[in-house]
Amino acid sequence: MSDFTFDPVQLMAEAVEAADGLSDFGNDDFRDGLAALCATYDRNNWTEKGRKRNRRRTVGLLTTRLKITDAFKRHPEILERPIPKPMVLTGLPRSGTSALFNLLGEDPDARPLRLWEAQFPDPLDDLQPGAPDPRRAMIDEYQKHMNEKNPEFAKIHFASADTPEECVLIHAYALHGVQLGVEIMLEPYGSWFRAQDLRSLYRYYADLLRLLDWQRPGNRWLLKAPAHMWAIDALIETMPDVSIVWSHRNPIACTASICSMTQTLFGKTMDIDPAELGPVVMDWYATSLERGLAVRDRSDPARFVDVSHDDFVADSMGQVEQIYAHFDMPLSDAAAGAMNAYIAGHPKDKHGKHEYDLATYGLTLEQVNERFASYVARFGIQ
């Protein structure tokens, strides 16, 4: 019997203690997700290290949620802040969204979500306006250590404290969303997530963006997550003037890379057969793509622009110019200069080449081609 149990009431009590007695978690709609997560952490074949990590992380999410709710109560003006003209990147994972996200984040007018603030969205009470947040330095040191400890994952997704990061990290404070990307591959959380109306998650997500912008204001949010494909309708409803950049890549390359990334995310927290993992991963992301495109078909086409991974590799600035022109956004000299400098300093595979193959994950070319046939045909992907 493991010492790391997952009783939601107990975890919430520990969070209250860790938050110095704060006890208001906000809207109760987080409780179903918490229960599904706890069941997933309790019933699957996690290693003892995995159970310990999952328990510590869940208490941490709940603790931060308490602090977020407290900030909203003490500063109700936060919830009145607008979210003007956000730009959101989505598409299959490993389709070039991160590289494009990092490049677009060089525009001084863009306000990307940074890794360190996604880990600490709650404000420090005694921090003076304009003063550096000491938690950033802590994340910087931690991430350097993790990049050295796990160089294989750094090849897949290199990160630092200030790297623009996926906003699924702040979805997690709703005890919802794709979490770490492994929970959605397991039951019961995977089925629970697929059955949810995601509007409440996106309302909370928008409020977290308001909270972060209240602390460190920007001109225009720049956001990114493949998981947004599950919720294009909720995204548009929550942010009516959102513009969406959709990345595309050969799904054979994407699928093999996603499987490898997911296995790496599991790490030593679960003994998992990669040949059993592959079909689950492929179905998850193929379904998200199908759901997202179905909503896109019902939406204003002017809201979307498509970017080819291969075209981006061949001519990054050409793709940037296409995006800005489509949305009638000026590309300033300062932005273009910063982006060109970034391209020069970040050649492809700077942090090592990520290698993978389908067979390891129990998949064949024929299976992937069949699953993504309509997608390939629709966008003329080679």
Tens digits of residue pLDDT in 301-348? 999 999 999 999 999 999 999 999 999 999 999 999 999 999 999 887
* Pairing status of strand 304-308 against strand 220-224: unpaired
Indicate if 60 and 145 belong to the same structural domain: no
Indicate if 30 and 102 belong to the same structural domain: no
Q: Is 69 or 346 the better-scoring residue by pLDDT?
A: 69
Please compute, for residue 178, the number of CA atoms within 13 A of its CA located in the half-sphere on the CB side.
22
Indicate if 105 and 212 belong to the same structural domain: yes
Instruction: Say what percent of the chain tops pLDDT 90.
Output: 86
Q: What is the pLDDT of residue 143?
A: 79
- When mean pLDDT is compared across 245-249, 260-264, 292-296, the lowest value belongs to 260-264
* Pairing status of strand 220-224 against strand 87-91: parallel
* Domain annotation covers residue 115: yes
Q: What is the pLDDT of residue 351?
A: 43
Indicate if 100 and 12 belong to the same structural domain: no
Instruction: List pLDDT tens digits, range 119-137.
Output: 999 999 888 877 889 999 9
* Domain annotation covers residue 205: yes
Q: List all residues 6 or more positions away from 150 whose beta carbon is below 8 Å from its beta carbon.
A: 264, 267
- When mean pLDDT is compared across 2-11, 169-178, 215-224, 354-363, the lowest value belongs to 354-363
Indicate if 89 and 118 belong to the same structural domain: yes
Q: List all residues 6 or more positions away from 5 whose beta carbon is below 8 Å from its beta carbon.
A: 42, 55
The three-state secondary structure class of 271 is coil
Q: What is the pLDDT of residue 144?
A: 79
* Bridge partners, residue 221, by sequence: 111
Indicate if 70 and 94 belong to the same structural domain: no
Here the tokens at position 159 are: 């990160």
* Domain annotation covers residue 58: yes
Q: What is the pLDDT of residue 260?
A: 92
Q: What is the pLDDT of residue 354?
A: 47
The three-state secondary structure class of 294 is helix
Regarding pTM above 0.95, the answer is: no
* Domain annotation covers residue 107: yes
Q: What is the pLDDT of residue 352?
A: 47
- Of 13, 45, 74, the last residue of a domain is 74
Q: What is the pLDDT of residue 155?
A: 60
* Domain annotation covers residue 167: yes
* Domain annotation covers residue 79: no
If one counts the domains in the chain, the total is 2
Instruction: List pLDDT tens digits, range 10-29.
Output: 999 999 999 999 999 999 99
Indicate if 36 and 120 belong to the same structural domain: no
* Domain annotation covers residue 311: yes
* Domain annotation covers residue 80: no
Mean pLDDT over 246-261 rounds to: 94
The CATH number for 152's domain is 3.40.50.300
Indicate if 22 and 59 belong to the same structural domain: yes
Indicate if 58 and 162 belong to the same structural domain: no
* Bridge partners, residue 90, by sequence: 246
Q: Is 375 or 160 the better-scoring residue by pLDDT?
A: 375
- Of 74, 102, 136, the last residue of a domain is 74
Surface-to-core class of residue 310, CB atoms within 10 Å of its CB (0-12 exposed, 13-18 middle, 19+ buried): middle
- How far apart CA 173 and CA 26 sit, in angstroms, is 11
Residue 147 has pLDDT above 50, yes or no: yes
- Of 23, 52, 74, the last residue of a domain is 74
Q: What is the pLDDT of residue 124?
A: 93
- How far apart CA 54 and CA 248 sit, in angstroms, is 33
Q: What is the pLDDT of residue 355?
A: 56
Indicate if 191 and 299 belong to the same structural domain: yes
- Integer angstrom CA distances of residue 142 from 90, 118, 135, 149: 27, 14, 11, 10
Mean pLDDT over 239-261 rounds to: 95
Host domain of residue 173 = 85-379
Q: What is the pLDDT of residue 1?
A: 45
Indicate if 184 and 256 belong to the same structural domain: yes
Q: What is the pLDDT of residue 129?
A: 72
Residue 65 near residue 30, CB atoms below 8 Å:
yes
Indicate if 30 and 135 belong to the same structural domain: no
- When mean pLDDT is compared across 75-84, 162-171, 285-294, 340-349, the lowest value belongs to 340-349
The three-state secondary structure class of 373 is helix
Q: What is the mean pLDDT of the chain?
A: 93
